[in-house]
Structure 1
Amino acid sequence: MTSSSPRITISESDYARLSGLAEATAKSNSSVAEYLMSELDRATIKPDRLVKPTTVKMGSTLTYETDHGESRTVTLVFPVDADISLGKISILTPIGAALIGLRVGQSIIWTTPTGDKHRLTITATSTEQETPVQAAQ
């Protein structure tokens, strides 16, 4: 496992909403808000239309594989929509903040609340916001 972080891309709209969310929660959830801000600071920000469909965005359903070979499919959501029993992971969790902006094939090391480090590799993505457009075609 390496400690280097992969390059990430975040859409302008996600950047604006997530920056505000991180600032608003900095006092109550400081460690995750700080981590999210550090991810936003290192991201390349692009117009929404230029962010590839293989990039994890807010609302993306993605599949990742752990360093133990386990595969899991989750949806990255805002805290109000989080429900771990439905696979909806909040952006304001360490794993949620680690996933934003990654592309299929990229890996990241994230630290669990107990301090363990794990490698996650993105194997697939789809975005819920794209579904109505696809259905209309």
Structure 2
Amino acid sequence: MNAQRPTSRGGRRPRIVIAADCLNRLEALAERAIERDPDLADRLLGEIGRARIVPAAKLPSNVVAIGRAVTYRDETTGRETTVTPVFPEEADIACGRISILTPIGVALIGLAEGASLHWDTRDGKRRVLTVLRVVRDEVSEELRA
């Protein structure tokens, strides 16, 4: 199982921010996921628990959120990947839309540009992923509703 621990440059976990309009739905998804993937559900609930919750209109444009494309870099390989976190029913990996109920979806939600997270791969290697860009797309913002 992949595990991740977001960290800032000083070794602490970076702050995360979540829009209030998504909070109830995220909590409900985590509660429903407890039976089939308790580790992932616990991670999502933990991230929600430590998040600063703000009104949707106050969510900074540089923060990863449902419906916002994010580009991150694997610091080991230099590879950049762009994905858009979405609710599970809108997920389509071929289109780059990843479910918030995936390890990378949980890890990225609420992080700001410049934040890094440690990622343990399935083969036991530690990687550092850094959020490079968050793109607020008015069309994808509709996915949050």
Matched ranges for 1:82-121 at <5 A: 82-121=91-130
- Using the TM superposition, give the Cα deviation of residue 114 of structure 1 relative to its aligned residue in structure 2, in angstroms: 4.8
Tell me the residue number matched to 1:41. Answer: 49
> What TM-score does the superposition give when structure 2 sets the normalisation length?
0.81
What stretches of structure 2 of length at least 5 have no aligned partner?
A: 1-5
Query: Are the aligned partners of 1:63 and 1:74 in contact in 2 as well (CA < 8 Å)?
Result: yes
% of aligned pairs identical? 40
In structure 2, the residue matched to 1:11 is 19
Answering whether residue 34 of structure 2 is matched by residue 26 of structure 1, we say yes
Q: Shift of residue 49 of structure 1? A: 0.8
Q: CA RMSD in A?
A: 2.1
Q: 2:141 aligned with 1:127, yes or no?
A: no
Deviation track 1:73-128 (CA, whole Å, cap 9, x = no partner) reads 11101111212222111111111100000111111123345544321111111233
Unmatched runs of 5 consecutive residues or more in structure 1: none
- Determine if contact 2:18/2:65 at 8 Å carries over to the other structure: yes
Distance in 1 (alpha carbons) for counterparts of 2:119 and 2:48: 15
Larger deviation, residues 33-42 vs 81-90: 81-90
The runs of at least 4 consecutive aligned structure 1 residues that moved more than 4 Å come to none
Task: Give the direction of change, closer, same or farther, for the CA distance of 1:64–1:117 in structure 2 (3 Å limit).
Answer: same
By relative contact order (CA 8 Å, sep 6+), the higher-ranking structure is 2
- Which stretch of the first structure deviates more once superposed, 116-125 or 28-37? 116-125
Q: 2:73 aligns with which of 33, 49, 65?
A: 65
CA contact (8 A) 1:5 1:109 kept: no
